[in-house]
Amino acid sequence: CWDAAWSPDGKWIAVESEAAASERSIHIVPVGRHKGKVRAIQLMQDGKALNAQHPAWSPDSKSLAFSCENGEWFNIGLFDVETQEIAWATDSTGDDTQPCWSRSGDVIGWVHSEGARTRFQFRERGGAIREIKVGEGVHAHPQITADGVVILFEGANHPPDLWKIALDSGEATQLTKSLEADLNFPPPEEVWYAGMDGAQVPALLYRGAGDCAALDIHGGPNWHLQFSWNPVLSLMALRGWTVLAPNYRGSTGYGKQWQNASRYDMGGVDNDDCAAGAKYLLENGLAKKVAVTGRSHGGYLTMTCLTGYPELFAGGSAVVPFLNWIKSHRESREDLKHWNIENMGDPEENKELWIARSPYFFLDKVAAPVQLICGENDPRCPASDSMDARDKLAELGKEVELLLYEGEGHAFYKIENIVDAEVRRVEFLEKVLERGGGVDR
């Protein structure tokens, strides 16, 4: 279960749960005295379950707003509980998510995203769609008030904080301030570069003054990097490094086809897109040396880059990665095994593919120093995977270091461990980028 929303009249609960591939589904379940009198309802259209998320009830409980794949993009749908019909509140290029209602039910709003940029859109009953924003950055978790919308906003120079935007004037007022100091981090720009097959790959580019670069690969893979608060990447840019953060095939935010392009091909086209980012940096004079790093699926792709395209990289830091599809699948929770099968096929029927896309079996190809950072109790990317890789790399005479954080899982929760892991990751990248060796153009 990813989300649950009770209807204001107490008769229903809308549940968002995992479905096929990376999809979600919404079931509307009767509760209380209503239970047993009516059946649960799954949101469907034309006999097919909808890829839907973010359920939000209207104040009168007659309608459920939700975000749903509607063609290439996510739009806002409205489900009428009585008629069980669906009407579409939006039909736009870009993703519309996180619907919310005013207390009167006369205004409905949502977050509109196009690639790396977001803003808040809303419409009054019978009116046209209007949009407002705090600035260039990421808006999330909106709540409409009597005269505005309270929303979480973050940007390159702003950590996540609550803001209020007036619906009539669009004037934004900051409600909380996480950092007292005003920052002047270099903002990223959205760029597109040619993938290995010529497809245009979107990415965020932080321009540095030096001739070293870091390729930062996001996890998920059903996620994407936006103009958000990312102090580690900003720190790298302030050191003089150029940073490229690709939204490779498999990422969200760029349409259904782009997101589904890596299904049953993980470690394939997504890896090629990331490696093409390193080529883009080297061949366009943005860097003479590139290191690669990433977390979770990004850590996995860090290792597929180092084994698949060793000539491009001066080193790599993989944070909570997996390296062996077969072993990590065997040691994962049942819900995570479901995700693996939905996105890479059955491990027995597709064993050759699972092996071919496991960098553990190709560690002899690594030609640069490797850092592995993992949590002792990670249920998604078991620490044993990194430990096995450390041992094999050492046996092969490769330069490798392993940082194992006791008591931590896939996400670290102790602030001292979070800070230590990030500091040591940047120190490792500094070591491989600013010393001799590696690819230097």
pLDDT given at position 184: 85
The band of 438, judged by pLDDT with boundaries at 50, 70 and 90, is: very low
Same domain, 126 and 25: yes
Q: Taken in order 374, 380, 384, 390, is the CA torsion positive or negative?
A: negative
Contact 52, 74 (CB under 8 A): no
**In this structure, is residue 438 part of a structural domain?**
no
Same domain, 217 and 145: no
Same domain, 222 and 96: no
**In this structure, is residue 383 part of a structural domain?**
yes
The percent of residues in the chain predicted with pLDDT above 90, rounded, is 84
**In this structure, is residue 183 part of a structural domain?**
no
The band of 8, judged by pLDDT with boundaries at 50, 70 and 90, is: very high
pLDDT at 21 exceeding the cut of 80: no
Average pLDDT over residues 92-107: 96
The band of 441, judged by pLDDT with boundaries at 50, 70 and 90, is: very low
Same domain, 360 and 399: yes
Find the CATH number of the domain harbouring 304: 3.40.50.1820
pLDDT given at position 271: 98
Query: Domain count of the chain?
Result: 2
Same domain, 134 and 223: no
pLDDT at 141 exceeding the cut of 60: yes
Same domain, 195 and 342: yes
Reported as a single tens digit per residue, the pLDDT across 356-405 is 999 999 999 999 999 999 999 988 898 999 999 999 999 999 999 999 99
**In this structure, is residue 440 part of a structural domain?**
no
Same domain, 388 and 327: yes
Same domain, 45 and 132: yes
**In this structure, is residue 34 part of a structural domain?**
yes
The percent of residues in the chain predicted with pLDDT above 70, rounded, is 97
pLDDT at 15 exceeding the cut of 80: yes
Query: Which of 13-27, 332-346, 367-381 has the highest average model confidence (pLDDT)?
Result: 367-381
Average pLDDT over residues 106-122: 96
Same domain, 60 and 160: yes
Please identify, among 174, 200, 234, the residue that sits at the C-terminal boundary of a domain: 174
**In this structure, is residue 399 part of a structural domain?**
yes
Same domain, 116 and 227: no
Average pLDDT over residues 184-203: 95
Please identify, among 131, 146, 174, the residue that sits at the C-terminal boundary of a domain: 174
Average pLDDT over residues 331-343: 87
Same domain, 229 and 161: no
Ramachandran region of residue 274, left (φ > 0), alpha (ψ -120 to 50) or beta? alpha
- What value does the mean pLDDT of the chain take? 93
pLDDT given at position 182: 76
pLDDT at 180 exceeding the cut of 90: no
**In this structure, is residue 40 part of a structural domain?**
yes
Q: Which domain holds residue 425?
A: 189-433
Average pLDDT over residues 247-276: 96
Same domain, 157 and 123: yes
Find the CATH number of the domain harbouring 140: 2.120.10.30
* 331 or 350, greater pLDDT: 350
pTM of this structure: 0.91
Tokens 């009516």, located at residue: 38
pLDDT given at position 181: 80
**In this structure, is residue 439 part of a structural domain?**
no
As a whole number of angstroms, the distance between CA 12 and CA 278 comes to 51
Ramachandran region of residue 410, left (φ > 0), alpha (ψ -120 to 50) or beta? alpha
